[in-house]
Structure 1
């Protein structure tokens, strides 16, 4: 088949959850199909960085998307019936490039990566309706049930405001998420009516979107390349896990993504002080690009350490004394968890942090904790128990290898096309 993939950001280099998913989909589909990737690229540096991807597929890049000011976002939040995610990647140049490709090439499938690219599918839904069987199959790869994510964010912020924890800031954030929650529920319902099929990453997301009236779903979860994400691969490259001087708790992800920021701030404020009462030597390290201002402020205060963007996250995961996933907002299946499992890191998570991972068992593959007290006690116990850390790491690796390697996930997408 000839497949056109629409990406909201450059899929190479594959750093960060969304980027990694798009890259792995390209890598997998390109083995058996003719693939074209139409992607945004913010600048010339990003365009040049796409060069290795051209060995796998045809790449067409469009400069953008144009930045939107906070004032413009605030105005559209109040004035537009569309959610913010439907507006952030609007681009006449991308629209023109898409229709040039559709006019010049017969695609069997056009797949939009994330709800941000759904408006471009809508623009194709009426193409060539006078000629039967000429419109490509329209597929939305839905990274999250977005309305659920905003619902959780709204409830988290509003609860915090009622508890007088940054009441003004939390109330504003809660109000924004409440508005987006309502808009996204309506928008996602309409998008699913436009698409021929929606790909979701978990059964939980499928059920959430079914509640909006969706009917045509394929579950293709997030995954991990367990050949690359492995201690054996590091050893083959003559590299080793990082040897931290003190017990180190590691968190990884894109650090301006709101659920990640919320998780780290909550952990630093509510959990880490309880750990330091017993183990003042423990350090928290956040690995990832674009740390939000509040995280930079916490780093200046010495409450956590930031790496910034790293070329390879594997040594950090493999060297973690404990890998933490203190998520309170979000959805889908988090790539960070699967990568940590594959690198045999002992994981402590909230139940939300590992939501959607089929077959996962508390006490076998990871340890679950919900309250600050539970989180601190669990980490303290694990710090003093290297045998349990090794057992959790081995079991996590087995779960990632057998259930979540990309080699088993790509065929599910291909089945959706057939």
Structure 2
């Protein structure tokens, strides 16, 4: 197949969740098909860093998308029928590059990565080409959860503003996702839960399950001196991650430190939000920020914590931690989208502060149990979630 992939940001280096998925799908497809990537890059340095992708595929880069001020976003939240995610990557330069590629090459498939790129699929409807959307989440469901989570909290201005924004985006996204689902030829979903949520919008949508994966040849258990770190890894300005960390730091960590005062929370990831940077105290909570390689931190972790309360899809960082045989404590939502994971066999699940603190305590006091849990977690994900097993499912979906 000749495939044109549309990316909302650079998929290389593959560090964030979305970039990881795009990179591994691109790499897998390019091994058997002719792939062209049309990607945004925020600046020339980011564009230059994508050079290794040119060994896999033809790469076209557009600098952007254009910045939107908070005032512009607020205005469109009130005035536009489209959700913010359908507006954030609007770019005349990208649109022109896309039109040029469609006119100059006989692509069989256009694959848009995430709902942010769906407007470009709608632009391409007049061309004789299969249109596919890779839905990283059921986005309306994510905004619904965010809205309800904020509006349940004590009436504070920030919570009310955030909840109101998410409430508006919830309804706009539901309408937009329904339109997209009813228009295009293929929709890839990463979990059965997301598929069910999207079918509530469009019962006849052409959905295909292509879950997230992990490279088990790269994420391999390593011998490392044990640390006192409870490790959280993720993009640190992503709203569900910010919520998860704040909840863990304020509600869970105090319970843990009453019995294990040496343990500390280590936050690893890009662009720490100001509310997370403010947690950094050099002792109890360490905001490390982005690192080139997360494997040493995973290998040495006393436990990996995934305290998600908002979200959808399935967790790439959970798959990586399990592949490293790290002991994991997660909320039920943090492990959502990965069927077959069993509490007490592959990881520990806990949904209240006291239960999560008890789960962490069990892992740090019973190291043989933590090791058995880690080994079983690795066996589970490498048996069913290696990217080498997932790319054929993508090919089948695009060819169906």
Sort the TM-score into its range (normalised by shorter chain): over 0.9
Within 5 Å, give how 1:225-304 maps onto structure 2. Answer: 225-231=215-221, 241=224, 243=225, 246-300=227-281, 303-304=284-285
1:299-333 CA-partner distances (Å, limit 9, x unpaired)? 14854111111111111111111000000000010
1:43 aligned residue: 43
Cα distance in structure 2, aligned partners of 1:275 and 1:67: 42
Shift of 1:337: 0.2
Structure 2 partner of 1:192: 181
1:216 matches 2:209: no
State the distance in 2 between where 1:375 and 1:358 align. 21
How far the C-alpha of 1:161 sits from its partner, in A, is: 2.8
Counterpart CA distance in 1 for 2:307 and 2:270 is: 18
Q: 1:322-368: CA deviations, max 9, x gaps?
A: 00000000001010000000001000000000001111111000000
Is 1:7 equivalent to 2:7 in the alignment? yes
Tell me how far apart the structure 1 counterparts of residues 52 and 361 of structure 2 sit (CA, whole Å).
Answer: 44
Poorly superposed stretches of 4+, deviation over 2 Å: 300-303
Residue 237 of structure 2 aligns to a residue whose secondary structure is coil
Q: 1:151 aligns with which of 144, 147, 157?
A: 144
Aligned to 2:31: 31
Partner of 1:308: 289
- Identify the residue that residue 97 of structure 1 maps to in structure 2: 97
Q: Name the structure 1 match of 2:82.
A: 82
Provide the rounded CA distance (Å) in 2 between the counterparts of 1:393 and 1:382.
10
Which residues of structure 1 form unaligned runs of 5+?
128-134, 235-239
User: How far did 1:106 drift?
Assistant: 0.2
Q: Could you say which residue in structure 2 is the equivalent of 1:130?
A: none
- Residue 40 of structure 2 aligns to a residue whose secondary structure is strand
3-state secondary structure, aligned to 1:415? helix
Q: State the distance in 2 between where 1:89 and 1:320 align.
A: 37
**Cα contact 1:121–1:194 (8 A) shared by 2:** no
Is the CA contact (8 Å cut-off) linking 1:86 and 1:116 kept in structure 2? yes
CA distance in 1, matches of 2:291, 2:27: 22
TM-score, normalised on structure 2? 0.98
How far apart are the structure 1 equivalents of 2:289 and 2:375?
28
Distance across 2 between alignment mates of 1:312 and 1:365:
24
Matched with 1:142 is 135
| Whole-Å separation in 2 of the counterparts to 1:98 and 1:314 | 37
Aligned to 2:348: 367
Q: How far does the alpha carbon of each residue in 1:62-111 deviate from its partner, in whole angstroms, 9 at most, with x for none? A: 00011111111111111111000000000000000001001100000000
Contact preservation (8 Å) 1:250, 1:287: yes
Select which of 357, 366, 376 maps to 1:395: 376
Over the aligned positions, Cα root-mean-square deviation in angstroms equals: 1.1
- Report which stretch shifted further, 293-302 or 347-356: 293-302
Deviation at 1:193, TM superposition (A): 1.6
Give the aligned partner of residue 109 of structure 1: 109
User: Hey, what does 1:181 align to over in structure 2?
Assistant: 170
* 1:357-393: CA deviation from partner (whole Å, max 9, x where unpaired): 1111110000000000111111112110001110110
1:237 — aligned with what? none
> Contact 1:161 / 1:168 at 8 angstroms: preserved in 2?
no
The count of aligned residue pairs is 398
CA distance in 2 between counterparts of 1:103 and 1:300 reads 56
